[in-house]
Copies of this chain bind each other. A is one copy, B any other.
Amino acid sequence: MSIENFTAYNPTRLHFGVGIINKLGKSVSKYGNKVLLIYGKGSVKKYGYYNQVVSQLESSGMSVVEYSGIKPNPVIEDVNKAVELAQKEQVDVIVALGGGSVIDTAKVVSLAAGSAIDGWQIVKGNEKPGHAISLICVLTLAATGTEMNAAAVMQNHETGEKLGFVNSLSFPKESFLDPAFTLSVPKNYTAYGIVDLIAHALEAYFGEGEPSLTDRITFEIIKDAMEWGPQLLNDLNNIQLRANIMLDATLALNGLTQYGKKGGDWGVHAIGHELSLLYDLPHGATLSIAYIAWLKIQQDRIPDRIKKLGASLFGETSVDEIIDRLSSFFSKTDSPVSLSEVGIGEDQKQKIIDQMNSNLVSGMYHKLNDEDRKKLVELML
């Protein structure tokens, strides 16, 4: 045990529960009366979420302009177009209705439009925005935790990069988490969300610092997801199970798992981002593939840390057994644990290695070198 110095700060006001959407109009109206509503494709309309949100906004006297069509693995092109709209319409507040892609897009839009700086320069960390348009989130997918943190991930096909950044201006002012808004998430994306939240907890755990209480809490988030996740996948309309996973996902990446740490490792996410860039794979699917390979790389380097995790998750056992059991869990959710399961074969090996080497894929704490990256790809195939 050792607690590293840290700062805890999270000003997002989180409204959680069935029917909580009925407080949206009143909350948003505190920030102005011209709203930019950002959402993805048609599903929020199909399932009625869009109507509920717009009705809340309009009945509170707000006028709404829209930018829609955000795709999974969000791209900077959408940010640029939405910024143009936000500036032209001089919106007071942004409402993001969707999952991680929509909210992350909205975060960059709120910074770029709020401070008149190019979005990609913000993502790259080249320019520091000084102001953001207030952002309110209505979450429709339990996975990324972006609804209660200051991070976002963005893709740029032109430069071939997928990058994450953190900016404290990016905390949503308020976020609305109604588990009923996740009832429409299909089985595979529900599973990827579960994998994603577990991966976030693991990235935090494998970062620098071994704070006793934080380790404990991180394990409980993972165990909660491992207990309720498989039950939810067999009972997708169960609102209590949806609620449990939704809370797990938020707490896995709202700062709590980093108390007493210098930060997370994020090596597995870095690997996953490269796989998404190359093959447009769902984020969660890349993480189940990459985590098993990463643990095999690390098993002789940090056996005690892996054993402490395993003891809490599975009871005292060997490192091999821990990795096997985690792999079995991912497989039980139908998340892939190898590239071959998603149709990527040996012929792609060198391409992936080259991509990972060219972007110097590594963790923040457990550094990866060329040799590691080659071995990782071999283990993932």
Residues in chain A within 8 A of chain B (CB atoms): 1-20, 148, 179, 211-214, 216-217, 220-221, 223-224, 227-228, 240, 243-244, 247-248, 251, 256, 259-260
Contact = CB atoms under 8 A, between A and B. Distances in A.
A216 B224 contact: yes
B13 A7 contact: yes
> Which 9 A/B pairs are nearest by Cβ-Cβ distance?
A5-B17, A216-B220, A8-B14, A11-B11, A9-B13, A3-B243, A213-B224, A212-B244, A213-B247
B3 A7 contact: no
Nearest to A254: B8
Contacts of A217: 217, 220
Contacts of A247: 3, 211, 213-214, 259-260
A7 B1 contact: no
26 contacts: A1-B240, A1-B244, A3-B16, A3-B179, A3-B240, A3-B243, A3-B244, A3-B247, A5-B18, A5-B19, A7-B14, A8-B13, A9-B12, A9-B14, A10-B10, A10-B11, A211-B247, A212-B244, A213-B244, A213-B248, A213-B251, A214-B247, A216-B224, A243-B260, A251-B259, A256-B256
A228 B240 contact: no
B212 A224 contact: yes
Nearest to A227: B212
Given A3-B244, A244-B1, A259 B16 contact: yes
Contacts of A251: 213, 259
A10 B13 CA distance: 8
A216 B20 CA distance: 24
A7 B15 contact: yes
Contacts of A211: 244, 247
A9 B148 CA distance: 10
Given A7-B15, A15-B7, A259-B16, A2 B240 contact: yes
A173 to B, nearest CB: 11
Nearest to A243: B3
Most buried by B among A15, A18, A213: A213
Contacts of A2: 240
A228 B248 contact: no
B13 A6 contact: no
Contacts of A227: 212
Contacts of A223: 216
Among A6, A18, A19, A179, the most chain B Cβ lie within 10 Å of the Cβ of: A6
